Amino acid sequence: MASLTAAAVASAAVFPPTPPNSFLGSLPFQSSYAVTSSLSVTRRLPHNRSDFTLIAQRRWMRPKAPGPSLSVRCSSALSPELKSTIDKVVQSQKVVLFMKGTKEFPQCGFSDTVVQVLNSLNVPFEALNILENEVLRQGMKEYSNWPTFPQLYIDGEFFGGCEIVVGKTRFNELENLLISE
């Protein structure tokens, strides 16, 4: 007899058992069943709320031999030309913010928060809208090894995103870093 998964055993308390004379009477559920293969049993909940599959584990079954390997070639969005351009932009100003939208009209709550923090510290900064150029947007993710925006650079170094900026602001670390030259 095949053993059921832990989820099936745990749910036995929730669903009363079916009568013992039914084909699937040993399963701990009372509902409609369908055998979908020799290894799985599918149960449809009343009113089509959801489906789930119980997989019986058979010790005599061997795993399939691995199929042919798939090789996926990913191209880099960060070309040498784009990297050089980003390097120049990041080095051109003390504070550079890559954000969604502009200083005057941020198009993301996180970008807006960083702009407000920098404005409250009276810090002059260069802002670049990554929504205007998808190549720049994807390239910046690779350049900084940071998947989200905004991205703040101070003195040519990646500082962080919104959460880091807000956290460092609470303890005046960002202000001290920006004041020191």
Q: How high is the pLDDT of residue 179?
A: 80
Total structural domains within the chain:
2
State pLDDT tens for residues 82-118. 999 999 999 999 999 999 999 999 999 999 999 999 9
pLDDT at 139: 93
Same domain, 43 and 91: no
Distance CA 114, CA 126 (A): 12
Residue 115 and residue 172 in one domain: yes
42 plus 107 within the same structural domain? no
CA of residue 178 relative to chain centroid, distance: 31
Q: What pLDDT, on the 0 to 100 scale, is given for residue 18?
A: 46
Together in a domain, 107 and 168 = yes
* pLDDT, tens digit (0-9, with 9 covering 90-100), for 147-158: 999 999 999 999
Please report the pLDDT score of residue 55 as a whole number.
42
In this prediction, what percent of the chain has a pLDDT beyond 70? 58
Q: Are residues 159 and 105 in the same domain?
A: yes
Mapped onto helix, strand or coil, the DSSP state of residue 69 is coil
Residue 114 placed within a domain: yes
Neighbours of 103 (CB within 10 A): 16
Residue 50 has pLDDT above 60, yes or no: no
Q: Report yes or no on 88 lying in a domain.
A: yes
Residue 62 lies in a domain: no
Strands 51-55 and 95-99, how do they pair?
A: unpaired
Range of the domain at 164: 80-179
Q: How far is the C-alpha of 26 from the C-alpha of 130, rounded, in Å?
A: 59
18 with 91, same domain: the answer is no
pLDDT reading at 175 higher than 60:
yes
Question: Are 171 and 93 in the same domain?
Answer: yes
Q: How many other CB atoms are there within 10 angstroms of residue 115's CB atom?
A: 21
- The domain that contains 113 carries what CATH number? 3.40.30.10
Nearest to 41 by CA among 25, 62, 21, 61: 25
How much of the chain is in helix, strand and coil states, percent to nearest 5? Answer: 35, 20, 45
Q: What are phi and psi of 42, to 5 degrees?
A: -110, 140
Residues 90 and 166 in one domain: yes
pLDDT at 73 over 80: no
Q: What is the pLDDT of residue 11?
A: 44
43 near 5, Cβ under 8 Å?
Answer: no
In the numeric block, which tokens belong to residue 132? Answer: 């205007």
Please choose, from the candidates 79, 146, 150, the residue with its C-alpha nearest in 3D space to the C-alpha of residue 109. Answer: 150
Tell me the percentage of the chain whose pLDDT exceeds 90: 50
pLDDT at 177 over 50: yes
Please check whether residue 72 lies inside any domain of the structure: no
Do residue 133 and residue 91 come from a single domain? Answer: yes
Gap between the Cα atoms of 60 and 161, Å rounded:
52
Average pLDDT over residues 45-62: 45
> What gap in Å lies between CA 31 and CA 60, rounded to an integer?
29
